[in-house]
Amino acid sequence: MWGSSTFNTRIERLWVEVGTQFARAWRAFFYRLERRHLLNRMDKNHLWLLHFLFLDAINSDCEAFQNTWNSHPISGAGHDQSPDDMFFLGQLEHGIYADDCDGWSLQEIETYYGREQEECTRQDMEPGSSENGEESDSGRSSDGEAGGDVLESDSGSDTSRRAHLQQRFEARAAAAAHSEGANIRHAPIPVPEAANPFSNRTQFTTFEEALRQAREGHIVPQGYGLFDDEWEEFGGQYKPYEYIPTRHRGRDLRIVLPHDIWFNRAELWAQGLYLMNRATTLV
């Protein structure tokens, strides 16, 4: 599905499905944490806590979406077969390809499977390149006599061969990067930095244990927007939806957040934030 999303209906459809299935709900939840539960998106420690508490759940939602998406039929060239259908039918028809180099780096592949000498020209490979057969035979004889010298020279030049292979590898990598440069149309996206607030492993282990006990004991801290008296500015109730901004005529999009799922995650955030603040303050 390579190409600009503006002219690629498959990419457009995929992003719509990702949003409606789970991504918009997570985005709305993070807005809710910022609006009601003291999340500061500019704080590196807060970003670390988001990763620690919710990254596994987000990855699980991504995997569930992947499994669902790969099971839906594709019209047109897909002949109403799903990606899973194509995958398994392809294995039945063509077998399973075993990649001997799976997990290897490009340098390792080049070292063990690449050529160790300069490529021969076509003229060198022509059987009639010499003037007559006798000269060819004598040439082969001379090569045979010189074989010992060549082997001796090769045995003492491992370092130079490795340097040569490294140069070839770097040249090919640079050529590949240059050829693909035209396909990369965007500038790098700045990624917010997350910083672990704990200075040592013992402090982090103490935080983990305290969070586990708070979860098991259903201990919820005050002042984090989770009690009835903290909802007055929001109409006196914990609403099962949140709004996210859109670029469509400046309208906000209402996203449903089922209480039994997202309130529990809000509690987890409040417990984690409270304990993280306590642990880092006491040090």
* DSSP symbols for 22-47: IIHHHHHHHHHHHHHS---TT-HHHH
Q: Tell me which of 278 and 150 has the higher pLDDT.
A: 278
For the chain, what is the mean pLDDT? 81
| pLDDT at residue 155 in the model | 53
Residue with tokens 């309130």: 263
Task: Centre a 10 Å sphere on the Cβ of residue 272 and count the other Cβ atoms it contains.
Answer: 21
Question: Position 24: which residue type?
Answer: R
Residue 7 has pLDDT above 60, yes or no: no
pLDDT class of 211 with cuts at 50, 70, 90: very high
Kindly report the pTM of this predicted structure: 0.63
**136 sits in which H/E element:** helix 133-145
